[in-house]
């Protein structure tokens, strides 16, 4: 009986630790860039009071460099923030120190970079918690659009490009961490129905409750894709950030009555089972989250996010 009691206590402790590491909720944006002085970014500083997780852009150059300095910066950041109980959701993208965004290089350089950072993410296991890795690397901002290997989504893309996409995700999966890719159509084409890979959404609620999240799914078959997203990503570390500048952006984020209403962002989070959102974009959303007079609304948003981990 004594040993059974101890076992129950250990199991309960394990559940608590799992819940503590899984609760992401609001994330705080941070970026480190290859070729720049990142000392201010990698030194520990407190996050937004409701956030314990960084969403981190790691920008690297597309020239086949070994990325040694930016890797050292990332590892330092992981130590500094991880020691304070902060988690990180990383995404690697391409760009230049002059703030010019780039897309992925040719395949051999690309896959060498993916393998390099997969090793880095594996090496920091135990240093900082990683709830999920966003697949990144392809397209502008690592968002899997407008790059040479991501001209289309899902089965509309070429077999060659789909193979490269799969290789990126599978290489990152080898780290033992969960991986999220950008588009549900790519998920269906590559990992049909599997929850081993989840999804991230970079344009949450841009068209309100009935929008297409900036083309995340086709507007003419919306419910089919909503159902698919919930099947593979719902309650599976699915998240991202809102946006107000996509081609179909119609929602007014400054309308707090709508944003906090029955068809507002908290209800949307519950419908899609979203686990995390950057709190600081769009600007009107950030203003709401930081507005002390809107505490009830923000409490509801936070509770909705944290309920889906």
Q: What is the pLDDT of residue 86?
A: 98
89: left (phi over 0), alpha (psi -120 to 50) or beta: beta
Q: What digits encode the pLDDT tens for the residues 61-83?
A: 999 999 999 999 999 999 999 99
For residue 11, pLDDT over 90 is answered with no
User: Which residue shows structure tokens 């999220």?
Assistant: 180
Q: What is the pLDDT of residue 248?
A: 77
For residue 259, pLDDT over 90 is answered with yes
Residue 59: both structure tokens together: 């920008």
- pLDDT > 90 fraction of the chain, expressed in percent and rounded: 87
Give domain 25-192's CATH architecture. Alpha-Beta Horseshoe (3.80)
| Domains of the chain, residue spans | 25-192, 203-309
Q: What is the pLDDT of residue 23?
A: 67
Please report which confidence band the pLDDT of residue 108 belongs to, taking 50, 70 and 90 as the band edges.
Answer: very high
Average pLDDT over residues 187-209: 97
Mean residue pLDDT across the chain: 92
pTM listed for this prediction:
0.92
| Alpha carbon distance 283, 61 (integer Å) | 28
Q: What digits encode the pLDDT tens for the residues 14-54?
A: 333 333 445 699 999 999 999 999 999 999 999 999 999 99
Average pLDDT over residues 211-228: 90
Radius of gyration of the CA atoms of the chain, in A: 19
> CA torsion, points 57, 59, 65, 67, in degrees to nearest 10?
-40
Average pLDDT over residues 143-166: 97
CA distances (Å), 155 to each of 150, 168, 200, 272, 294, in order? 11, 17, 19, 24, 44
Q: What is the pLDDT of residue 22?
A: 54
């Amino acid at each position: 009986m004594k040993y059974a009691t101890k076992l129950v206590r250990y199991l309960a402790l394990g559940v608590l630790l799992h819940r503590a590491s899984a609760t992401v909720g609001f994330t705080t944006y941070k970026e480190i860039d290859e070729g720049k002085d990142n000392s201010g970014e990698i030194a520990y500083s407190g996050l937004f009071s409701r956030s314990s997780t960084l969403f981190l852009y790691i920008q690297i150059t597309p020239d086949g460099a070994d990325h040694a300095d930016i890797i050292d910066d990332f590892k330092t950041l992981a130590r500094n923030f991880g020691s304070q109980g902060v988690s990180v959701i990383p995404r690697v993208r391409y760009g230049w120190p002059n703030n010019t965004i780039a897309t992925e290089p040719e395949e051999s350089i690309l896959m060498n970079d993916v393998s390099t950072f997969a090793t880095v993410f594996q090496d920091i296991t135990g240093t900082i918690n990683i709830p999920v890795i966003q697949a990144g690397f392809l397209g502008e901002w690592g968002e899997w659009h407008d790059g040479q290997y991501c001209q289309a989504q899902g089965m509309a893309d070429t077999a060659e490009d789909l193979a490269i996409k799969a290789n990126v995700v599978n290489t990152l999966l080898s780290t033992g961490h969960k991986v999220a890719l950008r588009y549900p159509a790519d998920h269906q084409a590559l990992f049909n129905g599997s929850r081993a890979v989840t999804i991230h959404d970079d344009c949450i609620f841009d068209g309100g409750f009935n929008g297409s999240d900036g083309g995340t799914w086709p507007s003419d078959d919306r419910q089919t894709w909503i159902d698919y997203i919930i099947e593979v990503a719902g309650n599976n570390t699915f998240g991202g950030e809102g946006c107000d500048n996509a081609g179909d952006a119609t929602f007014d984020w400054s309308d707090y009555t709508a944003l906090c209403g029955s068809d507002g962002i908290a209800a949307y989070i519950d419908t899609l089972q979203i686990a995390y959102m950057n709190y600081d974009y769009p600007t009107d959303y950030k203003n709401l989250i930081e507005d002390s007079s809107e505490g009830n609304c923000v409490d509801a948003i936070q509770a909705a996010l944290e309920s889906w981990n």
